[in-house]
Structure 1
Amino acid sequence: MSCVSVYGKTVTDSVATHLSSLNEKQKNILYEFEILKNNGFSTDQFWLKNKNHFPQLDDALRDELAKQVFVNSHIVYSAPKDAAIQFWMQTQLLTNWMFYLSAFIAICALIALFKKYWSLLIEVLIKNLTPLFRFLFSPVLLTYELFLIGVVCVIYGCIIDEFVLRTVIIHLGLFLLWSQSTAIFTKVYWVKKYVLEIENKFWGKDPWETVKTICLPAAIVTLALVYILYKVPSDVFYNYEIVVSGIAAVYALPFWRSLEKYLCPVLFPWQSDYSARSIKSLGACTVIALFITVVLVCQWNAVFYNVITALTGLLLLSFLILSSKINFRYNYRNYYYLQFVTILFLAAAFLYSYHVRLNEIIWFSLIGTSIYIMLKYLEVSSFFSDWKRGKAWAWKLLGLAGLLWLLGKGILYISKFLFIS
């Protein structure tokens, strides 16, 4: 047994000097002395026997040295030579090496056996596990597995701190939830096929097919987005996505098909003009979204600002699509009417956002107005000559560049007026 001292307590200079001069033998004697003292034994005989190993020490200094050695030491045990414990330790070391050797030999033997019976093993595995793998990776079960992976991605993504990784994982989960729920409800398990199913069922006559093909998957995604917004409220862009999925879920309900003929005249008052059915459906959906937006705006409650912003962004996009010349083939009465409605909406959105100081809607309206003006420039030019076949395309392009410059100057002036003045 040996005593190893590590001094960590503050002592007097005299005690510290004596401690530093002690050798290993003296430390062991003082350690044993302190043990005897702490256990209530007489230390006189022990000290008389061992005091010759020390220089002249008074009792107080001796007791302090013994105390410091005891407090700041730990025991290192070494078994005596030929002791039973030493033999047991050597036996354990030997058997450990035997175990290592047996493991190495077993690995070599297994490799040799695999080499000899590998083809037979593969044949047995294929024969017995093929039904299991066919079941595990069948289109039906794989669809449910991917759906569960989507749920895990949404839940796990919400607890990730890093923004980019969190956004990627959450959107992967949302895509899996939408695609696999659509596959489950349509019983069509390939993406290219059930995308066609969505388009066919939207215009189909069976209401239940429309509900389970479009409405239910959109509702599942909407619920997932509600959970995401609850867990990660700082990611405000999910407000826009939940509006999209929510509108898709609501508008896919079959009874809206019967209401389209009453909603479309709001944006298409002249029925003699031909428009694609998808454009009329977009118009009806725009009317619904516009009504919801007006209702929320009239609440004058900051709680709805994110939803109003999202709806405004969608409405801007819808009006840009609806007001496009390409949707009108024979006469342009609805086209001119929609230009008026679009300009009115852009102005109303800008004035509202300026009044309540919603910077997102201000920028939406400025960017939307810029895109609208550029589109109208291209459309007005196309009234007189085709861009591809006309000879003045370079002048038109130069005019577009000048228009962009003017729009940039206008946005700078307006932003300076709004945010600096």
Structure 2
Amino acid sequence: MQNASTVSLSRATLMFPLALVLFEFSVYIGNDLIQPAMLAITRDFGVSSAWAPSSMSFYLLGGACVAWLLGPLSDRLGRKPVLLTGVLFFVVCCLLILLTQDIYQFLILRFLQGIGLTVISAVGYAAIQEIFAERDAIKVMSLMANISLLAPLLGPVVGAAMIDHISWHWGFIGIAFLAFLSWFGLKYKMPDAPKPQIKRSLRYVFKDFAQVYRNRRFLALAFALPMLSMPLMLWIALSPIMMVEELGMSSFEYGLAQFPILGALILGNVVLIKVIDKYALGKTVMIGVPIMLLGAVVLVLGTLWSEYFMWSLIIGMSLISFGEGISFSVMYRFALMSSDISKGTVAAAVSMLLMFSFFFILEAARVLYIEFHVMAYSLCCLLLIVLWFSFPRIALKKEMRLRVDKGIF
């Protein structure tokens, strides 16, 4: 909802989104920096490295479990107090994880840290849309997206260097420090957004969620999202094991190997921005997913010719990342607009579906990887992408035809 008391973008008003993006960076690098350290963490706890992917899956599960609550809660109490409380909660969880004695306590704290993901998407982004005028809000979100892309690029390299020279505990201390800095910026620079006049009970919130999830159009488009994004999520979760344990790379070499793959994702996003106005919405998806399929085939072929596996891994994942870059945002837009329910509720519904899918698929892939190693990873990527060519592709083509019939391009 756009309100009349929006502010214009200036050097003074920019301080709030910069404080928010510092927290967003802290939460994202809380995964991208820690995941390379999971081999050292599992050794410290005396458990198998097969537990390493669970750090990421529990992090995502934590975000999924409260998405339904934080948005409506911030509607009632105001964005600022909920956001400030969420940042402090994240800081405390980052410090408490230093006291964990076993892998189970560690994963519980990772679950609680993951709530920071929802604090950003359900509260922070909503505040941006309310506080800034429409065009300025778009500029702010673009700026935040560009800065947050530094997390997956820097995280693996910094994380690898960290475990080579210092303890993994310092990673969480650094993340907590960055998040605490953002809390001060948010406290003093975030405007107080007005509360809505009408407050709906949780009963109506649950009814809205039920209506969204009963919408077959929404489900067909929303289920395409984990099919597109899950191969890269599996890479982030399993690549420390594959590249360090299976291929014998050093931690620093592992960090450097992330650059072409994550760089391909950034390139895909840049290409999407450049061409989005030249083609019908959805056309880039119809091009991008076949590119992802080609990348998955390269991965599988690499497992059959082990002497080329390293090259096939980098090339295949780079193709998958590029295809995701030109596809995911468009599919997300289609899913978000597929229901007439308020967009905050639909966005929360998409977030929960994504994060729960991430959790269960990551855990299933982790178990399969124990038995079948890189072949399990490659086939999981291939299967996920192939599934997109079923009902999600049909749903997307239907949406594109509807837009043509309405004269929308």
Larger radius of gyration: 1
- For normalisation by structure 2, the TM-score amounts to 0.27
- For normalisation by structure 1, the TM-score amounts to 0.27
